[in-house]
Chain A
């Protein structure tokens, strides 16, 4: 099975998107989920969605129709890295993928 790719999308602030990506990487590792987390700044490119299995975005850059993959708003993670509803949504998508 190829590695599951998760793209964290931010706006201008590379620090913020990196922090969220690092937190998510730790979270996935702790939960035994094998995946590759990478980042994308919409300020540099918002016309074409990044190639991934799941897009987690801090701002409304892409929709599922154009991305062709699930897109989740993760803005609540900025204030609360363990935001339960957001984490649950992410987990559900990842688990669905591995259940296939």
Chain B
């Protein structure tokens, strides 16, 4: 196997050295339980407080509005169940989109089973939600709108500021899963009228097992985990201090590099598109031309089998994904690409390539070279 190339940063990112150093302090030195009243507890609490400030600063919130969770899936679940469970099902309606992550879609489906009314908004062929559709879907009993900030499969940047404004005008809460946005986009919950926002550390060069939910001051949501007063009574259990410190450090890291990384990755993405399109006319880029995140490329090799491409690329040491990483074991058709009305043949030939801080131009060129070599052996017979 030649040298390895990782192009699956949407699935997860490596822990950055600066983040690892901060985590080591929490593991080795300030190991206390932040609820303890002695010096060890105080030291751990100080680390946690600083991380809370760092995460809050990263999204324009205040520290008391940050609830640490085990990751974005729990944050999404807490946002949805925590909001809706205070209303009786017959008087509560949720609006979401058909291209949300399963952490949202499966939670919404569970609520639907319990009798809550749900509207699943469609997307256009680029994977974008139309704010007018949100406006038209609102009912008097609408309690929550949940629309992701950046789609994890095709990179479409959703109009969350407009949706936030619509939600505010209609006295409805707005939740956004900002997992794929946090690393490259400036988020400001106040300016964008966001009431609830989910993030994950491992998508922004932090550790796995830690995330956060922003809950706007004054919002009353119900906890899912009880048994302690931690996290403003919204998430019981001794805090994961090394993880929390890692999330704070990761948030600082991406904030510092956001603009230059966004520019750099945009250029790499363009090289990638140009290179792939020069190989064969079968190459079709999915998602918007403009409102797209620079770190995600969904590409269909029409007439070629994407699973075989992935297997052969993996054999060459190159890691990419089939549509969405969460689906790679079952290889079900991507719900995102299906919602975008792509044909089954196009879905079956789609790979997701995602870029990150360690990605170099050399890696992109090598990837293109390997695709060129492998493509003829992956034709659907």
Enumerate chain A interface residues (CB-CB to B < 8 A): 11-13, 15-16, 42-43, 46-47, 59-61, 63, 73, 75
Contact = CB atoms under 8 A, between A and B. Distances in A.
A12 to B, nearest CB: 6
B231 to A, nearest CB: 38
A55 to B, nearest CB: 12
- Of B308, B312, B328, B378, most A-chain CB atoms within 10 Å: B308
B366 interface: no
Contacts of A73: 380-381
Nearest to A14: B329
A42 B308 contact: yes
Contact of A13 (B305, B329, B378): B329
A73 B380 CA distance: 8
Contacts, number: 40
A47 to B, nearest CB: 7
A46 B305 contact: no
Interface string B311-342: 11011000000000000111100000000000
Contact of B330 (A13, A61, A63, A75): A13
Contact of B305 (A12, A16, A59, A63): A59
Given A11-B331, A16-B331, A59-B311, 20 more contacts: A12-B328, A12-B329, A12-B331, A13-B329, A15-B330, A42-B308, A42-B311, A43-B311, A46-B311, A59-B305, A60-B305, A60-B308, A60-B378, A60-B379, A60-B380, A60-B381, A61-B311, A63-B377, A73-B380, A73-B381
Contact of B307 (A11, A15, A47, A63): A11
